[in-house]
A and B are shown apart, each in its own frame.
Chain A
Amino acid sequence: MKHRFTGIVLTVVVLSMVAPTLPVDAQVRQLFDVRAPMRDGIELSADVWLPGDGEYPAILVRTPYLKSMMVNDRPIFPGAGAFFASHGYALVVQDVRGRGDSDGVFDFYFADAEDGYDTVEWIASQPWSNGDVGMMGVSYLGAVQWLAASQRPPHLKCIAPTAPSGQYMHELPYRGGAWMMAWSLEWINGTSGHAEQGKNLEGIDWDKVFSQRPLIELDEVMGRRMPLYRDFITNNVLNGYWKRIILTAEDFRRLDIPAMTVTGWFDGDQPGALHHWTGMAENSPAADSQFLIIGPWNHVQTFIGGATEMGDMEFTPDSIIDNFGTHLEFFDHYLKGEAPPLEWPRARVYVTGLDQWREYDEYPPAAASSRALYLASEGAANGLDGDGTLVWSAPGGQPTDVFTFDPQHPVPSDIAGQQHGIDRRPIQRRDDVLVYTSGELKEAVEITGPVTVELYAATDAPDTDFTATLTDVYPDGRAVALGIEPTGIIRARYRHGLDRIELVTPGSVERYTIDLSHIGHAFLAGHRIRLEISSSAYPAYNPNQNTGNPVATDTEWHVAGQTIHHDQQYPSRLILPVVPNRPSDEMGGGGS
């Protein structure tokens, strides 16, 4: 009963979110290219939307994608400005340092803590400000909120970071220590000047670019030398370069600020969003005013709204929420201070498969417990026709599975440019992909939280990668990808930590932990759970060249022979955060 009630509450909330429309007599006032001086004299440019001639609470957006950012071919900020101004807020949209109309040189997040502080305090001194400032925005625009907050500007009252990055060796530009080759080249090119870049890449032959070595020169192969690209690929451990922009428990302990965190099950910046969420939930004095929403959304959808399908998955219409309306509720209470206390649950998550919103008092849910599915086979788990299975208890003595990883013929990370929720059977047919599938589920298995794989593996190379991908096999056979990339990865040299490089002894069995991201999904009765194990996901990650050489400058390529163990001594397993089954009438009839 409790959960059904929950569903109704959320529906009501969604309807009330849709309701706010612009008052007809709204007289919005605009100030374009307003320049704010930073402490070093550099001026940053902002467009400002105001409700009128008074003093207002202000919402700050700081963007490297230009104040003129288009979403679906429409500029997003004039509409946002009119929306928030018509509800009594000033909206300030600022180009970050070195981008758009702001002066200075862009250097990733490294100036955003101080620039964020200075901008918040500059706003508070403007004649149209009442001194209360909040922040909002997605992705980079989300991460800058945490960086500004870490400096504790006195006038910052609350933040609403959507899909912020925050874990730089395990999100971007590295994940599990593997270099995110495609993202790095495209994103850094896209921010390599004042203006928007990116259309200059139209028609480029990426496969040709990605095939060149050394990696450190791929920027010039693509079109230009990019200092940031080279900084990133040179700082290949969690060192002082990165620690400048990663918030720690110490930071969160001092962060006494309400925050609304939004991410998605298909959001590539989910690791950062949940890093901040967890840090605040565990450490912040404002732990009670932290709120989490996770929907079935990809990165951009976390902010602009979702869709009722993702790849081969479908969702209910209530999976799409009114994002501006949600923000307005949050700001009306924590920034404007007029509205009644928010009656939001601590965490709202949309469980795919089940296709219902769930509310929890904490996240990950206290009710979730780790259950393991063990890899098993007769030694021929290769491909969709192999004999790999997943079982609920560790198998006894079993032969190992072996496959050959040729980095010049890597496993694709996408199919026709799509990666989320897609049917991965075309990939699962490859011989260098081990496939382990459970029996048909008799009852639904609902998971919510972090999913990991513990893999016992040996390689004949001094370094290599191991990847894992989780899919839900529907009764009709489709094997639908779950998770953010969706493929998780560990680069062997980082198996003992992302802060150090330790090559492996060829042939020795090592335990690898592969993070498959947080997943909120119900595998319904009649479905099967399937895990892929392989060694590459290209071009998302640069294929490990298996040499053990420094990655940035390596020009050699070796083929690696991989061995996956699954027996009592080496119980390779998939670890799922299982939420106990609820009475069947609460399952939305999804068990057919």
Chain B
Amino acid sequence: MTHRAAVLRLGLALSVLVAFVGTADAQVHRLFGVRSPMRDGVELASDVWLPAAEGRFPTILIRCPYMKDMGLDDFSLGQVGEYFAERGYAVVSQDTRGRGDSDGEFDFFFADAEDGYDTIEWIAKQPWSNGDVGMIGVSYLATVQWLAARERPPHLKCIAPTAPGGDYFNEIPYQGGAFHMQWALHWINGTSARSSQVNAAGMDMAPIYEHRPLLTMDEAMGRRMQLYRDFLEHPTLDAYWKRIQFAPEDFESIDLPALHVTGWFDGDQPGAMYYWNGMAARSPAASRQFLIVGPWEHAQTFIGGTLEVGGLKFSGDSVIDTMATHLAFFEHYLKGTGPEPGFPRARIYITGANRWRDFDHYPPAEAAERSLYLHSGGSANSLIGDGDLSWLPPGDEPSDRYTYDPHHPVSSDAGGGYGADRRPVQRRDDVLVYTSEALEEPLTIAGPVAVELYATTDVPDTDFVVHVSDVYPDGRSVSLGSHSGIIRARYRNGYDREVLLTPGETERYRIRVCHMGHSFLAGHRIRIEVTSSDSPSINPNQNTGNPVATDTEWRIAHQVIHHDGERPSRLILPVVY
């Protein structure tokens, strides 16, 4: 009953929001190519949308490295400008430093804290500004909000970061310490000059991904990219990263309301959750933080979802009017005329059950960690192996073994994307597959999913990769989450140092997968895969223990996964009822 009531509240909130839309005034005034000076004299360019009437308005700032008039499908930042200008806001869409019409050099997020601060304070001095500034945007456009907020610009009143990156060793460019090769090459190429770069479209990347050393793969692709090399030359969480990687205590001084949005299939979910957890735990404004997690991919978190992702299907109310949600937030926290938005602390959409649930905390206080233990008779290799998962810890059981050849990695493309049927991957002999019995009643999880693995290898460094899926009664093995979990062995003791293995010694690896909100329905099974690669998404570990950026050697690794009384490898689920 309580959940049904929550759904009804959401319905009411939405109809209130729709009422705002009705007050829209179509008169909008535009200022294109407006230039604001930063503290070092570099000028950044913005397009500005204003209500046509003379006046001073609360202002919403967008800072974008993808061009200030970026479009996504049928959606564009210009529409955001119009939408809010019609509702009494000024909207500023700015090219970040070195991109689009802005001067200077692009250097990832490293100038965005100061540039964000300077832009906010510049806005507050404009004749069309009433001095109150908020921020909006997705992905890069969201991370810049956190970076600006940490500088505490006096005129910044609230932020609405959707799907921000921010956990640089658990997300991009490193995840579990492993390098996101495909993302790094394409994203950095895409931002390697002022204008948008699409020159790699359709390129045959296969020979390029085989190029070693990794450090010069950029030239094999088409150009030397300084940022790519900087990323690779900083393979630990060092001062290079700490300039932008928030520390837990940073949140203590961020006293701002924030609307956090991410998705179960959002590649930047780790960053979004990092900021959410930090603010919920430490910010003086903890009671003005709001979280929405939907069944959405990265861009959908901002432009709206769809009724299916891969093989997963969702209810109609999984698609929300994201602009109206932002409007309700800004009407109260920025313009100050609207009522409290009445958002629950956290609103998450449980896939499988296909309904929204509201919680006072996230992860939900009522979520309990439960473990599904790996079992087998010693041959869990592939779909036809004997691996299973059960709630009972293992006793005396033989270990599972597979051979990992980095020249023949498991394909991150064969997995087919979010919600895809994983069976093509699970047919490989170098993929261990563990499947539970069919569930007698639904099992709902909400929160972080992890795997604890006891493993041995015969090389000084290697990777371990896990993937969670929901096996439907018809046999489909539907991928869950925004990515596979991975740990690069040398980072098992932390990302701030590289510690090679002693070949043959068993180690315990804690592998973060991601947050999931899902009901495994009755009759379904829970499955995990364990393997050692996910390429070209992640660079295949060459198993040598050499420095990754310059390594040109390749070794084959022989992996042993243990599941016995002393070494109980397990899948850890946050179960709610």
Evaluate contact between B78 and A200: CB separation under 8 angstroms: yes
Q: Does B70 contact A (CB under 8 A)?
A: yes
Interface digits, B61-99 against A, CB 8 Å rule (1 contact, 0 not)?
000000111110000111101100000000000010001
Known: A195-B69, A197-B32, A200-B68. 17 other contacts (CB 8 A): A27-B207, A28-B203, A31-B222, A31-B223, A32-B197, A68-B199, A75-B198, A75-B201, A79-B202, A189-B32, A193-B33, A193-B101, A198-B69, A199-B77, A200-B78, A202-B79, A205-B26
B207 to chain A, nearest CB (A): 8
A512 to chain B, nearest CB (A): 38
Candidate in A68, A192, A200 with the most chain B CB atoms within 10 angstroms: A200
Q: Does B193 contact A (CB under 8 A)?
A: yes
For B99, the chain A residues whose CB sits under 8 A away are 195
Evaluate contact between A199 and B76: CB separation under 8 angstroms: yes
Complex CA gap A45/B202 in Å reads 21
Evaluate contact between B195 and A66: CB separation under 8 angstroms: yes
Interface residues of A in 183-223 (CB under 8 A from B): 189, 192-205, 222-223
Evaluate contact between A203 and B198: CB separation under 8 angstroms: no
Q: Does B9 contact A (CB under 8 A)?
A: no
Complex CA gap A524/B259 in Å reads 66
Evaluate contact between B82 and A67: CB separation under 8 angstroms: no
A236 to chain B, nearest CB (A): 25
B195 partner, pick from A68, A75, A77, A82, beta carbons under 8 A: A68
Candidate in A95, A198, A223 with the most chain B CB atoms within 10 angstroms: A223
For A78, the chain B residues whose CB sits under 8 A away are 198-203
Closest residue to B219 on the A side, CB-wise? A31
Interface digits, A302-334 against B, CB 8 Å rule (1 contact, 0 not)?
000000000000000000000000000000000
Interface digits, B23-34 against A, CB 8 Å rule (1 contact, 0 not)?
000101011110
Evaluate contact between B201 and A194: CB separation under 8 angstroms: no
Complex CA gap A196/B195 in Å reads 8
Evaluate contact between A223 and B69: CB separation under 8 angstroms: no
A202 partner, pick from B78, B95, B203, B222, beta carbons under 8 A: B78
Chain B interface mostly: loop
Q: Does A11 contact B (CB under 8 A)?
A: no
For A199, the chain B residues whose CB sits under 8 A away are 69-71, 76-78
Interface digits, B12-48 against A, CB 8 Å rule (1 contact, 0 not)?
0000000000000010101111000000000001010
Complex CA gap A418/B422 in Å reads 48
B194 partner, pick from A27, A77, A101, beta carbons under 8 A: A101
Interface residue count on the B side (C-beta < 8 Å):
41
Evaluate contact between B100 and A195: CB separation under 8 angstroms: yes
Closest residue to A29 on the B side, CB-wise? B222
Interface residues of A (CB under 8 A from B): 27-28, 30-33, 45, 47, 66-68, 70, 74-75, 77-79, 81-82, 95, 99-101, 189, 192-205, 222-224
Complex CA gap A75/B189 in Å reads 15
Closest residue to A220 on the B side, CB-wise? B31
Closest residue to B200 on the A side, CB-wise? A78
Q: Which 6 A/B pairs are nearest by Cβ-Cβ distance?
A: A199-B69, A193-B101, A223-B30, A101-B193, A195-B100, A30-B222
Evaluate contact between B82 and A202: CB separation under 8 angstroms: yes
Evaluate contact between A195 and B198: CB separation under 8 angstroms: no
Evaluate contact between A200 and B69: CB separation under 8 angstroms: yes
B74 to chain A, nearest CB (A): 10
For B70, the chain A residues whose CB sits under 8 A away are 199
For B301, the chain A residues whose CB sits under 8 A away are none
B206 to chain A, nearest CB (A): 11
Candidate in A28, A74, A197 with the most chain B CB atoms within 10 angstroms: A197
Q: Tell me whether A75 and B31 are in contact in the complex, defined as CB-CB below 8 angstroms, given that A33-B193, A195-B194 are known contacts.
A: no
Evaluate contact between A30 and B196: CB separation under 8 angstroms: no
Q: Does B192 contact A (CB under 8 A)?
A: yes
Q: Tell me whether A67 and B195 are in contact in the complex, defined as CB-CB below 8 angstroms, given that A197-B69, A199-B70 are known contacts.
A: yes
For B207, the chain A residues whose CB sits under 8 A away are 27
Complex CA gap A31/B47 in Å reads 32
Evaluate contact between B69 and A75: CB separation under 8 angstroms: no
Evaluate contact between B79 and A203: CB separation under 8 angstroms: yes
For B221, the chain A residues whose CB sits under 8 A away are 30, 32
Evaluate contact between B189 and A68: CB separation under 8 angstroms: no
Evaluate contact between B195 and A95: CB separation under 8 angstroms: yes
For A68, the chain B residues whose CB sits under 8 A away are 195-199
Evaluate contact between A224 and B193: CB separation under 8 angstroms: no
For B28, the chain A residues whose CB sits under 8 A away are 203-204
Q: Tell me whether A200 and B32 are in contact in the complex, defined as CB-CB below 8 angstroms, given that A31-B223, A33-B223, A194-B194 are known contacts.
A: yes
B335 to chain A, nearest CB (A): 22
29 A–B pairs (Cβ distance < 8 Å), ordered by A: A30-B199, A31-B223, A66-B196, A67-B195, A68-B199, A74-B201, A78-B199, A78-B203, A79-B202, A81-B199, A82-B202, A95-B195, A100-B194, A189-B32, A192-B33, A194-B100, A195-B99, A195-B195, A195-B196, A199-B71, A200-B32, A200-B68, A202-B82, A203-B82, A204-B28, A223-B30, A223-B32, A224-B31, A224-B32
Closest residue to B99 on the A side, CB-wise? A195
Complex CA gap A66/B194 in Å reads 11
B323 to chain A, nearest CB (A): 14
For B69, the chain A residues whose CB sits under 8 A away are 195-200
Complex CA gap A205/B30 in Å reads 11
Evaluate contact between A196 and B196: CB separation under 8 angstroms: yes
For B82, the chain A residues whose CB sits under 8 A away are 202-203
For B67, the chain A residues whose CB sits under 8 A away are 195-196
For B77, the chain A residues whose CB sits under 8 A away are 199
Complex CA gap A189/B32 in Å reads 9
Evaluate contact between A200 and B30: CB separation under 8 angstroms: yes
Interface residues of B in 112-167 (CB under 8 A from A): none
Interface digits, B174-203 against A, CB 8 Å rule (1 contact, 0 not)?
000000000000000100111111111111
For A82, the chain B residues whose CB sits under 8 A away are 202
Complex CA gap A224/B34 in Å reads 8
Complex CA gap A199/B75 in Å reads 10
Closest residue to A82 on the B side, CB-wise? B202
Complex CA gap A554/B232 in Å reads 62
Complex CA gap A91/B192 in Å reads 20
Complex CA gap A202/B70 in Å reads 11
Closest residue to A35 on the B side, CB-wise? B193
Closest residue to A27 on the B side, CB-wise? B207
For B31, the chain A residues whose CB sits under 8 A away are 223-224
Closest residue to A93 on the B side, CB-wise? B199
Evaluate contact between A30 and B193: CB separation under 8 angstroms: no
For B79, the chain A residues whose CB sits under 8 A away are 202-203
Complex CA gap A45/B33 in Å reads 22
Complex CA gap A194/B68 in Å reads 12
Closest residue to A74 on the B side, CB-wise? B201
Complex CA gap A194/B100 in Å reads 6
Closest residue to A203 on the B side, CB-wise? B82
Complex CA gap A194/B221 in Å reads 24
Closest residue to B208 on the A side, CB-wise? A30
Complex CA gap A309/B183 in Å reads 42
A32 partner, pick from B47, B100, B101, B199, beta carbons under 8 A: B199
Evaluate contact between B47 and A200: CB separation under 8 angstroms: yes
A350 to chain B, nearest CB (A): 31
Closest residue to B195 on the A side, CB-wise? A100
Candidate in A28, A74, A203, A205 with the most chain B CB atoms within 10 angstroms: A203
Complex CA gap A306/B70 in Å reads 28
Evaluate contact between B101 and A47: CB separation under 8 angstroms: no
Complex CA gap A193/B47 in Å reads 11
Complex CA gap A82/B77 in Å reads 32
Closest residue to A192 on the B side, CB-wise? B33
